[in-house]
Amino acid sequence: MQPFLVELKMTKILIIGSTGQIGSELTMLLRSIYGASNVVAGFIESAKPQGELFESGPAAAVDITNAQQIADTVRKYRIDTVYNLAALLSAVAEDRPQLAWHIGLGGLFNVLEIAREMHCAVFTPSSIGAFGHNTPKINTPQDTIQRPQTMYGVTKVAGELLCDYYHKRFAVDTRSVRYPGIVSSLTAPGGGTTDYAVEIYHAAARGETFQSPLLAGTFLDMMYMPDALRATIELMEANPDRLIHRNAFNITAMSVDPETIKSAILKWLPEFKMEYCPNSALQAIADSWPDSMDDSCARLEWGWLPKYDLHAMTLEMLISLNAI
Ligand code: AKB
């Protein structure tokens, strides 16, 4: 059992998107908390779970765009909680907007309908991508203007509203956080605007010069994976009576730009070098997102508190990548 949870719900969990960056680590952590047999790793044929993820507990083919498949799995395993982690990340979603809508919103609608009929709680992540150019950039409030101009952002805002609707209208227990960029060493993110914050550590560990796709001064919220996983589970375990907000809470651990991360790496790897190789598509998305979010509502309503700052994260990343 993890030390951060005092009392646990008895629960049967389905994770949709269990092989992605967050899903792969969340599945293993949930299995260690709730018991391996109680956590089903949902996957699509093109991304089957491998190794420990496959061997440590039940797995089922669950394509979020296939409502029947979700319903059959929920029925078969008597699922009461769904973690919906299926999505195209921001950069890929701009390349394939129709598919991003189909998975992000069509898929979410399938999950919510099944949750309504079969009485499941639902976690669906939102993102810093749910904000746009006319949102206050510094200390972005919990409740503020949300007019994103990316398909990723459109699906995130619409998803937040849809989840709130299902909670108010049908009493489905929907909860969500706005994830910042998530930094981790195990599964690569793939297709996000914040991916550079993972890739920079890999380049440093390989002794390579990092080509930064985002310019100096592009500040974005970030978080180390263990904090992101803990936030997710703590929110799902939170006392519902204390939740004024639900979909979705701002959460953050640090606000950094490429130079800040470089400086943190240089403390351990003084030879590390970085060059700028701007990617205009990624830069445009990043420029439309907040520099730093205000996560005081999450702190107040369910006790959110990050443990990793940039330096603690950098040390662990470099150790886990065998760089120091
Ligand atoms: C992305 O960059 O698309 C994601 C996110 C911040 O939602 N990592």
257 touches 276 (CB < 8 A):
no
State the Cα–Cα distance between residues 120 and 100, nearest whole angstrom.
24
Ligand 1, atom 4, residue with closest C-alpha: 192
Closest CA to 310 of 250, 224, 232, 230: 224
- Spot the catalytic one: 34, 77, 83, 152: 152
Token representation of residue 131: 């904000």
Please give the number of the atom of ligand 1 that sits closest to the Cα of 152: 3
Q: What is the pLDDT along the chain (324 residues), one digit of tens a residue?
A: 454 665 666 799 999 999 999 999 999 999 999 999 999 999 999 999 999 999 999 999 999 999 999 999 999 999 999 999 999 999 999 999 999 999 999 999 999 999 999 999 999 999 999 999 999 999 999 999 999 999 999 999 999 999 999 999 999 999 999 999 999 999 888 899 999 999 999 999 999 999 999 999 999 999 999 999 999 999 999 999 999 999 999 999 999 999 999 999 999 999 999 999 999 999 999 999 999 999 999 999 999 999 999 999 999 999 999 999
| Atom of ligand 1 at shortest range from CA of 128 | 6
Q: Which atom of ligand 1 is found nearest the CA of 220? A: 6
- The full set of domains in the chain, from first to last, is 13-180+224-250 (3.40.50.720), 182-221+253-320 (3.90.25)
Known catalytic membership, residue 166: no
- In angstroms, the CA 120 to CA 115 distance is 4
C-alpha 220 to ligand 1 mean position (Å):
10
For residue 159, give every residue at least 6 positions away whose Cβ sits within 8 Å of its Cβ, in sequence order, or none.
104, 105, 108, 124, 126, 176, 247
Residue ranges around ligand 1 (CB below 6 Å): 89-90, 127-129, 179, 181, 189, 192-194
Pairing of the two strands 121-123 and 81-84: parallel
Q: Are the C-beta atoms of 257 and 216 separated by less than 8 Å?
A: yes
Which CA distances in Å does 286 have to 149, 150, 176?
12, 11, 22
User: Half-sphere exposure (CA, 13 Å, Cβ side) for 286?
Assistant: 28
